[in-house]
Each structure stands twice: as structure tokens, then as C-alpha cells.
Amino acid sequence: MCRVCRVCRVCRVCRVCRDDRGSTAIEAALIAPPLILFLLLAIAAGRIVMAGQVVDAAAEDAARQASISRVPGDARESALAAARATLTGQGLHCSSTSIGLNTSGLGAGTGEAGTVTATVTCRVNLADLALPGVPGTRTMTSTFTSAVNRYVER
């Protein structure tokens, strides 16, 4: 019963106390921040996974291109070009990129086994997501080794 009029059916104050108006706004205010945080976390995870796959592909392409070459100087140039083409072709924007290549296997004689190893490192920018607890950049590194054709004269 209402203290003002002592008649609950007529009193406007009692009806306002029991009214559900505004509850949707409160529910949205409580649910929206965790939902947005989850969405941003999913985007960050997707970027990290995609960047890892692109860096893997760049290392594989660089090692394969280098293993096809017969001269270490040409191998280095073609491997760097292949890695950069893969990184830019897949739309990955690295804040810094490092491509390492070990072409010592190209010095093996005809009939001897040799390998070429490529290492690609890319720093992926996550700062635009502004997630608390997530670093601004993530470094992705991939190494791939490709066999040199032992029956090709070098």
C-alpha cells in the first residue's frame, strides 16, 4: 500500500515503482561491454591466425624459390622477392619485416643433398583494436626448409 493515498489501485507512485520501463536500457548497458570486448578479441585472434598463415606461406615460397636457383646470389634475390610478394599479395601489413635465408645447401655438388632454409619474421599491429591486456604488436616468425635438387648442375 502507498503511504501517500493508501489506495494502491489509484496511486500513480505505486504504478511507477512496479513499472518495467528502462529495464531494457539497463540490460543493454550491462551486456554491451562484454559483447564488444568478445568481438574485438575474436578480431584480434583472427588477425593473429591469418598473419601466422601468411608468414608460413611467405617462408615456404622464399625457400622454394631459393632452392630452384643455381647461384646463391640469384637465390637470395628471388627468395626475398617471393616472400615480399606473398606478404603483400595476401594483404598482410607488417610494421617491420625480416627475411633470413641460409643458402649454404646450394654449394653442394651434383648428386649431393642440400637444403635452403628461409625464416620470415613479421610484426603485426594490433594497437588499433585497443583491447586491454593485449599488446600493441605481435611478432610472427616462420621457418621453412626446402631441398635442393641434387641432380641439377650448379
Residue 139: its pLDDT value, please?
94
| Domain presence at residue 154 | no
Domain assignment present for 54: yes
Q: 33 in a domain, yes or no? A: yes
At 71, list the grid cell.
Answer: 647461384
Which residues of the chain fall short of a pLDDT of 50?
Answer: none
CA end-to-end distance (rounded Å), the chain: 100
Helix axes 72-89, 23-68, angle to 10 degrees: 160
Question: Residue 57's domain spans which residues?
Answer: 22-148
pLDDT tens-digit map of 54-83: 999 999 999 999 999 878 888 999 999 999
In the prediction, which pLDDT does 84 show? 94
Q: What is the pLDDT of residues 33-45, one digit of tens each?
A: 999 989 988 988 8
Please answer whether residues 29 and 23 qualify as being in contact, where contact means their C-beta atoms are separated by less than 8 angstroms: no
Q: Does residue 92 form part of some domain?
A: yes
Residue 98 included in any domain? yes
- Assigned domain for 8 exists: no
Q: How many domains does the chain have?
A: 1
Instruction: Identify the CATH number of the domain in which residue 89 sits.
Output: 3.30.1300
Quick check: is 52 in a domain? yes
Whether 11 is covered by a domain: the verdict is no
Q: What is the pLDDT of residue 126?
A: 82
